[in-house]
């Protein structure tokens, strides 16, 4: 399999240009070197835990605070990713913008060992098996853990409207293979496989992840009456295929509204609530 190094879209054999972004295919990455398969199991329902069985010398890294348990023979160390000091500091800055901690925590086993991770609020865990050069875009602060061969980078929303009103802010996360990466989102997940040009409209803030080939934007939520009294805010997030889209049924913003004292009005959201923090999202 061949993937575009610019947008992560899968390319056909012999393609000269990426049909999704138009970038030359000369720099495409061929998935010839796959990472060693990671043995894991996701257990639970809406408070899921991922149990990872590490082979001798195998390493994973995780967001700080996500570890639930580990066997005694699994060593762990917090460190910044990057070769030099400049790369480490730049990586730390990017992680803070993504809502993650300054340091990753690395876990390596000297023998057969096990380590478990979980999210910080009710929800599910989603695994991505990424080939070399293949990318997936996920909401900020959703990263749980990944093999050391997986890269986590900042992804800026290219459309101003989507950044302001899409519910995810201007900053997302790009996970690039090879290897296995796991993320966490709220409530239950619904998965869609969109064909070329097929559109899906989603309540802002409920998009947990999508393939790099999917276009992300916002649209008005209908007429004036619908926008004001429909309870969904002014905008809907619009995703256009081809590619996979994963939607979550619960965001932290919805959970906070439900738990707020003396709240009224059901689950509806006022029209001004659609305007979110520029760098933040509805899950912050």
What CATH number is given to the structural domain containing 166? 3.60.160.10
pLDDT at 277: 45
Give Cβ neighbours of residue 158 (< 8 Å, ≥ 6 apart).
Answer: none
Do 240 and 131 reside in the same domain of the chain? yes
Do 57 and 106 reside in the same domain of the chain? yes
pLDDT at 144: 95
Q: Which domain holds residue 14?
A: 1-30
pLDDT at 9: 60
CA 75 to chain centre: 27
Q: Is the pTM of this model over 0.85?
A: no
Do 250 and 224 reside in the same domain of the chain? yes
CA 186 to chain centre: 12
The DSSP line for 167-212 is SS-SEEEEEEBSEEEEEEEEEEEEEEEEPTT-EEEEETT-EEEEET
pLDDT at 187: 92
Short-list 158, 136, 151, 266, CA closest to 218: 158
- Tokens coding 13: 């054999």
pLDDT at 165: 47
Q: Does some domain include residue 233?
A: yes
pLDDT at 5: 56
CA 161 to chain centre: 20
pLDDT at 219: 76
Do 10 and 142 reside in the same domain of the chain? no
Do 25 and 78 reside in the same domain of the chain? no
Residue 14 region by backbone torsions, left for phi larger than 0, else alpha for psi between -120 and 50, else beta: left
Q: Does some domain include residue 280?
A: no
pLDDT at 20: 63
pLDDT at 274: 45
CA 256 to chain centre: 21
- Tokens coding 144: 């749980």
Do 123 and 104 reside in the same domain of the chain? yes
pLDDT at 43: 95
Do 18 and 76 reside in the same domain of the chain? no
pLDDT at 260: 74
Distance CA 193, CA 183 (A): 19
Note whether 274 and 233 are within 8 A (CB). yes
Q: What stretches in the chain show pLDDT beneath 50?
A: 27-32, 161-163, 165-167, 227, 272, 274-279
CA 152, 123, 204, 282 torsion: positive or negative?
negative
The DSSP line for 122-139 is SEEEEEEEEPBT-EEEEE
CA 43, 192, 205, 95 torsion: positive or negative?
positive
Do 110 and 12 reside in the same domain of the chain? no
Do 11 and 40 reside in the same domain of the chain? no
Distance CA 178, CA 135 (A): 9
Distance CA 108, CA 90 (A): 25
Q: Does some domain include residue 281?
A: no
Alpha carbon distance, N-terminus to C-terminus of the chain: 36
pLDDT in tens, 217-276: 877 665 555 545 555 556 788 999 999 999 999 888 778 777 776 655 555 555 545 444
Do 43 and 24 reside in the same domain of the chain? no
pLDDT at 33: 53
pLDDT at 248: 94
Give me the number of domains the chain comprises: 2
Residue carrying the six token digits 């730049």: 90
Integer-rounded Cα Rg, in Å, for the chain is: 19
Do 16 and 77 reside in the same domain of the chain? no
How deeply is 102 buried, as exposed, middle or buried, from its count of CB atoms within 10 A (0-12, 13-18, 19+)? Answer: middle
């Amino acid at each position: 399999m061949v993937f575009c190094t610019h947008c992560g879209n899968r390319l056909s054999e012999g393609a000269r240009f990426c049909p999704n972004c138009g970038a030359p295919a000369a720099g495409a990455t061929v998935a010839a070197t796959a990472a060693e398969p990671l043995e894991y199991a996701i257990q639970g329902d809406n408070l899921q835990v991922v149990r990872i069985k590490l082979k001798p010398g195998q390493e994973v890294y995780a967001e700080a605070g996500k570890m639930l348990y580990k066997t005694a023979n699994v060593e762990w160390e917090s460190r910044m990713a990057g070769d030099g000091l400049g790369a480490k500091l730049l990586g730390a800055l990017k992680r803070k913008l993504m809502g993650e901690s300054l340091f990753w925590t690395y876990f390596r086993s000297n023998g057969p060992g096990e380590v478990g991770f979980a999210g910080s609020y009710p929800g599910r865990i989603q695994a991505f098996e990424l080939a070399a050069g293949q990318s997936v875009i996920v909401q900020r602060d959703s990263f749980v853990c990944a093999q050391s061969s997986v890269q986590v980078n900042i992804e800026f929303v290219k459309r101003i409207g989507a950044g302001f009103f899409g519910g995810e802010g201007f900053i997302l996360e790009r996970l690039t293979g090879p290897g296995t990466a796991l993320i966490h989102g709220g409530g239950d997940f619904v998965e869609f496989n969109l064909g070329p040009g097929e559109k899906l409209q989603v309540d802002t803030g409920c998009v947990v992840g999508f393939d790099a080939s999917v276009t992300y934007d916002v649209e008005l939520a209908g007429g004036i009456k619908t926008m004001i009294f429909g309870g969904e805010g002014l905008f809907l997030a619009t995703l256009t295929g081809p590619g996979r889209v994963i939607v979550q049924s619960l965001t932290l913003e919805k959970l906070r509204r439900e738990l707020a004292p003396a709240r009224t009005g059901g689950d509806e959201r006022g029209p001004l609530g659609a305007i979110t923090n520029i760098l933040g999202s509805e899950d912050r």
